[in-house]
């Protein structure tokens, strides 16, 4: 008896349906896998990014807690407007000294006449070369108050950022952090700086740091000039140094023999370069520091302005940091990345006043700025 074949083949329609179902399943599965991979990639980049932000804030916090606000450097940069860091140290402190009385009844001026006055009339007799006796009533007096009015400044007072209308008088956020250690001999400068030059696009930015060591050039026992620490590549050009130092007595000591190297303020606007940059990066290059601002409080050194009621609070720094991804990391990020802004306030670690005293050989910048220098 003939056997009947009960097996049936797939029709074309059934095959097309099967292929379609398989394709849909494959597409959905692939889409899910891509989403999972993208999600993991986003999560990984975000975790690293937020960890970078935490590390950067911790670094800045550690620097502030290891020192205090360098009011002298703010005065040098914002009021005197020196294009170099590390010069004119002690001039800010001179604003709190009354230089006392003059032997010849002339008005004394601050800071030009700081230091006790010789008891001999002016001019001194030709046979007298040294000042053996001083006029005791000319001894400097620390008043604890800055007496110089600044009408455009907040509360009408002069401070480390604005003096007699000169300097940064708005009292708002600043982009540079100047710190000094407890010994008054080491400076730290932190600022936002380009990571590398970009062509046809916006630049990425990192955070740069620079450290400087103090020198006592006039040999009075107090640091008056700062030079870049050995591990930082600062210029040592004779013309730059001669232009940077305003004090005549430095020429007598042959500045270059001291190996003084001074960083320029406009270094912030160039990119990190091991051959030309004074600053070194302390933030990861995969992050873009879109904004770095600081709020210094108070604007006057409270340990010098101890007679100014408005300034009686310990120095603190508010850090406002906005971070995004670098251009390279952003291209690798699946989707749009939202920048993050973090803010924290840190109290300075050093309590008390640091010793500083201005050079008195050449303070002609006061005349150029029109700052009234008469004592109290």
Instruction: Please spell the DSSP secondary structure of 249-288, one letter per residue.
Output: HHHHT-GGGGT----BGGGGGSBP-TTT-S-EE-S-TTEE
Residues 6+ apart with CB under 8 A from 19: none
Asked if residue 169 and residue 110 are part of one domain, the reply reads no
Residues 125 and 170 in one domain: no
pLDDT of 176 reads: 93
Q: What is the Cα 109 distance to its own chain's centre?
A: 31
| DSSP conformational letter for 115 | S
Q: Answer yes or no: do 212 and 306 share one domain.
A: yes
Asked whether the beta carbons of 255 and 242 are under 8 A apart, the reply is yes
294 token code pair = 């600081």
With respect to residue 174, please indicate whether it lies within any of the assigned structural domains.
yes
What is the reported pLDDT for 111?
67
Q: Do residues 264 and 121 share a domain?
A: no
Q: Hey, how many other C-beta atoms are within 10 angstroms of the C-beta on 101?
A: 18
Asked whether residue 319 falls in the same domain as residue 174, the answer is yes
The reported pLDDT for the residue numbered 199 is 56
Does 238 fall in a domain?
A: yes
In a domain, 195, yes or no: yes
Q: Is residue 26 part of a domain?
A: no
**Residue in the block written with tokens 């000094």:** 180
Identify the helix (H) or strand (E) that includes residue 243: helix 238-244
Q: How many CA atoms lie within 13 A of 192 on its CB side?
A: 18
Residue 346 and residue 211 share a domain: yes
φ and ψ at residue 182, rounded to 5 degrees: -65, -20
Cα→Cα distances 184→67, 68, 90, 212, 334, Å: 9, 10, 11, 11, 49
- The answer to whether 258 and 139 are in contact (CB under 8 A) is no
pLDDT-flagged residues of the chain (< 50): 155, 238-256, 360-376
Residue 105 placed within a domain: yes
Residues 112 and 210 in one domain: no
Residue at 248 is within a domain:
yes
Statement to judge: residues 210 and 247 lie in one domain: yes
For residue 236, what pLDDT is reported? 57
Does 261 share its domain with 359? yes
Pairing label, strands 287-297, 134-135:
unpaired
From the list 37, 156, 90, the residue with the least C-alpha distance to 353 is 90
Residue 78: inside a domain: yes
Instruction: Tell if the pTM clears 0.85, that is, is over it.
Output: no
Query: Domain limits at 312?
Result: 57-96+143-369
Same domain for 246 and 302, yes or no, is yes
Which letter does DSSP use for residue 226 in this model? E
Residues 210 and 315 in one domain: yes
pLDDT at residue number 295: 94
Whether residue 31 is contained in a domain is answered as no
Which of 111, 142, 173 is at the close of a domain?
142
Q: Please state the domain count of the chain.
A: 2
Q: What is the pLDDT of residue 118?
A: 72
130 and 160 inside one domain: no
């Amino acid at each position: 008896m003939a056997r009947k074949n009960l097996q049936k083949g797939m029709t074309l329609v059934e095959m097309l349906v099967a292929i379609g179902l398989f394709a849909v399943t494959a597409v959905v599965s692939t889409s899910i896998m891509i989403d999972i991979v993208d999600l993991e990639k986003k999560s990984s980049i975000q975790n690293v990014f937020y960890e970078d932000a935490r590390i950067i804030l911790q670094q800045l916090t550690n620097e502030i807690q290891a020192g205090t606000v360098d009011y002298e450097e703010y005065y040098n940069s914002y009021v005197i407007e020196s294009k170099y860091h590390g010069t004119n140290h002690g001039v800010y402190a001179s604003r709190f000294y009354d230089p006392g009385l003059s032997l010849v009844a002339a008005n004394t001026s601050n800071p030009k006449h700081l230091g006790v006055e010789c008891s001999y009339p002016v001019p001194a007799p030709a046979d007298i070369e040294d000042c053996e006796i001083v006029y005791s009533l000319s001894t400097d007096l620390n008043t604890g108050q800055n007496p110089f009015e600044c009408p455009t400044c907040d509360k009408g007072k002069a401070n480390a950022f604005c003096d007699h209308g000169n300097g940064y008088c708005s009292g708002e956020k600043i982009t540079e952090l100047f710190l000094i250690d407890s010994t008054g001999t080491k400076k730290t400068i932190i600022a936002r700086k380009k990571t590398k030059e970009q062509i046809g696009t916006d630049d990425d930015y990192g955070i740069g740091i620079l450290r400087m060591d103090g020198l006592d050039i006039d040999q009075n026992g107090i640091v008056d000039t700062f030079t870049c620490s050995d591990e930082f590549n600062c210029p040592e050009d004779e013309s730059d140094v001669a232009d940077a130092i305003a004090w005549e007595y430095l020429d007598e000591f042959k500045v270059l023999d001291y190996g003084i190297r001074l960083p320029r303020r406009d270094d912030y606007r160039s990119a990190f370069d091991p051959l030309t940059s004074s600053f070194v990066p302390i933030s990861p290059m995969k992050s873009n520091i879109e904004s770095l601002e600081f709020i210094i409080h108070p604007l006057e050194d409270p340990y010098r302005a101890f007679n100014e009621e408005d300034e009686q609070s310990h120095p603190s720094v508010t850090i406002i940091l906005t971070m995004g991804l670098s251009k390279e990391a952003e291209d690798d990020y699946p989707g749009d990345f939202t920048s993050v802004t973090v803010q924290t306030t840190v109290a300075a670690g050093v309590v008390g006043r640091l010793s500083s005293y201005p050079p008195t050989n050449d303070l002609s910048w006061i005349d150029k700025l029109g700052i009234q220098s008469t004592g109290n």
